[in-house]
Structure 1
Amino acid sequence: MPPRKRGRKDEGAATAAPPEVGRDHISALPDDALQHILSSLPAQDAVRTCALARRWRHLWKFTKDLHMTTPDSIEEIREFVDHLLLLRAGLPIDTFELGAGDGLSEDDIPLVNLWIRHAVAYKVQVLQLEIFGRWTWLKLKNLHLVFASQHLTRLEFANIRFNDSFFNFSSCLALQDLRIRMCELMHAKRISSYIHAPNLASLWLDEAFERAAVLERMPSLVEAVVTIHVFCSNSCSRTTSGSCDDLDCQGCHDIEEDDTCVLLQGLSIAKNLALVALSNTFIFRRDLKWCPTFSNLRTSLLNEYWCVPADFSALECILEHSPVLEKLTLQLFCKGPKSKVEIKGIPDPIERSAAISEHLRIVEVKCEVVDETVLNVLKFLNKFNINKLRLHYSHSLYFCNLL
């Protein structure tokens, strides 16, 4: 190979200038961009940037997303939040997130309620409250006054004690998303509290304590996930119907709204619906006495609760009252969307049962093992000519006849 000529550049060599060393590229961004970046940080970290340089001294005040969380108690951030809201001088808020991993004291409750009112007064759009821990519950009351807003689009509550009998969000015309997890209704004035949100599109109701809330009709509802846990008192160890012979049973005989469809009527407009409950709770089966029609339901996820008792009457009612259902998923004795076994059945196009939706394309059965319970579910589906089964096990696919 001949020697290279001195000064000749290699073909294809990079011609770009080397990057500048030591230049502060972040500070070169405009204020709006920097405020957007700060909005994604915990509020404590955003405020600390005031020590970086003169230009950063007041940038944090204009962030519209306030994430104020601590793994400890509210007491640890009480003084910080007070000063933060005071120094912002009433600037608008888009997101207000307040979380504590170790609860709050009774003395903190009025202060937290004041912070919430402050956020709503300054046009908050997303409000998230997650107060966990062992001390006491965050108590909220007069919800229709506290959350009266034309700007709120999303509300999230976790470990909150509600004192109102009526969750009236009718004045929140922009509210699209409501999420309630692990909350308590014990101190509501009525045994069955009402949730009224006429323009709601998305509902996540994960009820862990006391009674299921009565859902009023939600004409804009698109999707909902409702989970009833063992701690819910709408349960009975003697019966699955909610009508045992023990008059002292609070689960069966302490329901004021005996003529009310508690959950299903309010959910009947939804297009996508997941309903999960433990076998000893009866509130869904009790609701089926009214046989609501799920006129818009396209996709549905149900757990093993709907396959008990052995006549599958609850599951049959859902199938027969979902005229436009396209996909049904049965998640049997497994947690989450992943499972070891997945069985897919397709309705017979020629001998399709007239009792179910003509739009139904697929039924998925997810489980950990194919046992007698699963086989009984498949036999029930076969009554509606839902067959042509495909068995997915781990990462393998089998075509088989399990019946």
Structure 2
Amino acid sequence: MRKMSAASSGRVKIGDLPDDLLRRVVSLLSARQAVQTSALSRRWRHLWRSAPLLQILPNDGFRTVRGLNEFAKHLLLLRDRAALLDACVINFDFCEFESYQDLPDDPDVGLWLRHAVSCQAQWIRVEIYVEDDPLCLPDLPLVSKHLRVLELKYVKIKDSLVDFSGCPALEHLKFWGGFIHAHTISSPSVKHMIMDGCGFNRKFRTRISVPSLISLQLKHFWGATPFLEDMPLLVTASVSLSDDCRDRCVNTEFGKCGDPGCFDCGANKVIDCDGCVLLQGLSGTSTLELKAESRVFMFRRDLRWCPMFSKLKTLLVNEWFMNSNMSELACLLEHAPLVEKITLQLSTEPYNFVEIEDSDKPLKQAFPFKNLKIVEIKCHEGDERVNSFKDPEPKQRFGFLPMKKWGLQMIDVSERVE
């Protein structure tokens, strides 16, 4: 009986695959592993030179930064310059080099980044973790007609690098950790931006100018709150201000406590400005989350110049609005005529605010919410504060929003919230 051929048996040997597919197989390896495949056979000798994904991973057997730089320099010299890159990953996450502190060299990330751009990479990710002091990327603008996704993690960034006017195809921009020492982040094309755990300068506000933005996540940053310029196309946004935010005060709810010894708002005079810092830029959203720790006053400050949220339909807030009569939440809702659902997220521990001077003044006469249908309260199971929201009397907590009178539905979601 004749042996079944490979094709008839449904099995294909790796040597039967076309070169383009083999290059993609090689792309799954780190750069060093990809180069080592050249020893497999004469056919594999040059496949790594035109692999569509380049992954420079220094935890792949390199003992020193100098050794990594030497390898990467020869790698880039020998790569086929006519071969375009789909993506480039430079990953130093929690990598440890032997005797790192004794070496004068830094990883030559700037050279590798420029190579990726010159090879028309559509997706670039730079993830570098160096304990104590983030590695500073070269302060040079990126210029690429092909770059669509840029992810920067644990690095220090200065002004020129975050001027993305030379990247007209860039749509996804992500910053994790690291330090943004830039006066302006600008892009005419970015549609989706995530900034998580970043550090901003404490002496000035970084301006974020991304007029085409559709979605925004800004959370857990430290330093001065960045200034959001107008984003007319913004649909969904989530902003979370932690205690690491520079705009906080331990004495009052609005800052400017008058105490020259206040480490927070007393030192913020140099970066204070009139008008909204955050809310004006967020005013075009239809779905909005606003979270802040108790002493971070930025949202309450911005409400002095509260814009109209003419498209807002779904709103989530946590306790930053909870003074004695909830006037901040009332103000926000007065400027959001189309809101349909409000979610109040209560932490496990009640906030203990310092009462403001006008906290006992009566609110404006209750007004009808023509579109509001649902008030959802998320809290720790057994939280007695939920009952204060259910009281329909105007003098009690949520009285400015007469749920019974206007036929609103209230959902009590007892759960453990972050």
Which category of TM-score, normalised to the shorter sequence, fits these structures? 0.7 to 0.9
Change (3 A) 1:87 1:20: same
Residue 155 (1) aligns with residue 147 (2) = no
> Corresponding residue for 2:260?
247
Q: CA deviation at 1:392?
A: 5.3
Residue 319 (1) aligns with residue 298 (2) = no
Change (3 A) 1:162 1:360: same
Between the aligned partners of 1:200 and 1:39, the Cα distance in structure 2 is 32
Query: Given that residues 98 and 128 in structure 1 are in contact (C-alpha distance below 8 angstroms), is that contact kept between their aligned partners in structure 2?
Result: yes
Query: Counterpart of 1:375 in 2: which secondary structure?
Result: helix
Change (3 A) 1:32 1:231: same
Task: From 182, 187, 190, give the equivalent of 1:169.
Answer: 187
Query: Counterpart of 2:133 in 1: which secondary structure?
Result: coil
> Corresponding residue for 1:225?
238
Residue 99 (1) aligns with residue 91 (2) = yes
Q: CA deviation at 1:108?
A: 6.3
Between the aligned partners of 2:170 and 2:283, the Cα distance in structure 1 is 24
Query: Counterpart of 2:302 in 1: which secondary structure?
Result: helix
Between the aligned partners of 1:147 and 1:46, the Cα distance in structure 2 is 34
Change (3 A) 1:228 1:26: farther
Deviates more, 1:126-135 or 1:215-224: 126-135
| Structure 2: segments with no counterpart, 5+ residues | 137-156, 350-365, 392-396
Q: Partner amino acid for 2:337?
A: P
Please give the per-residue CA displacement for 1:308-366, whole angstroms capped at 9, x wherever unaligned: 2232222222222222223332222169xxxxxxxxxxxxxxxxx7543x333333222
Task: From 295, 302, 307, give the equivalent of 2:317.
Answer: 302
> Corresponding residue for 1:359?
371
Deviates more, 1:31-40 or 1:361-370: 31-40
Between the aligned partners of 1:43 and 1:318, the Cα distance in structure 2 is 53
Residue 201 (1) aligns with residue 192 (2) = no
Between the aligned partners of 2:43 and 2:175, the Cα distance in structure 1 is 37
So what's the TM-score if we normalise by structure 1? 0.73
Query: Counterpart of 2:375 in 1: which secondary structure?
Result: strand
Query: Given that residues 378 and 413 in structure 2 are in contact (C-alpha distance below 8 angstroms), is that contact kept between their aligned partners in structure 1?
Result: no
Residue 273 (1) aligns with residue 288 (2) = yes
Change (3 A) 1:293 1:95: farther
Q: What does residue range 48-127 of structure 1 map to in structure 2 within 5 Å?
A: 49-68=37-56, 75=65, 78-79=69-70, 81-90=72-81, 91-102=83-94, 111-127=108-124
| Structure 1: segments with no counterpart, 5+ residues | 1-15, 336-352, 395-403
> Corresponding residue for 2:363?
none
Q: CA deviation at 1:243?
A: 2.1
> Corresponding residue for 1:12?
none
Query: Given that residues 320 and 355 in structure 1 are in contact (C-alpha distance below 8 angstroms), is that contact kept between their aligned partners in structure 2?
Result: no
> Corresponding residue for 2:361?
none
Between the aligned partners of 2:414 and 2:90, the Cα distance in structure 1 is 43
Between the aligned partners of 2:233 and 2:11, the Cα distance in structure 1 is 52
Q: CA deviation at 1:41?
A: 5.8
Q: CA deviation at 1:109?
A: 6.0
Between the aligned partners of 1:304 and 1:205, the Cα distance in structure 2 is 18
Query: Given that residues 102 and 135 in structure 1 are in contact (C-alpha distance below 8 angstroms), is that contact kept between their aligned partners in structure 2?
Result: no
> Corresponding residue for 2:132?
135
Q: CA deviation at 1:269?
A: 1.3
Query: Counterpart of 1:286 in 2: which secondary structure?
Result: helix
Tell me how many residue pairs correspond in the alignment: 355
Query: Counterpart of 1:143 in 2: which secondary structure?
Result: helix
Between the aligned partners of 1:329 and 1:54, the Cα distance in structure 2 is 64
Aligned-residue Cα RMSD (Å) equals 3.8
> Corresponding residue for 1:344?
none
So what's the TM-score if we normalise by structure 2? 0.71
Q: Partner amino acid for 2:345?
A: Q
Query: Given that residues 375 and 408 in structure 2 are in contact (C-alpha distance below 8 angstroms), is that contact kept between their aligned partners in structure 1?
Result: no
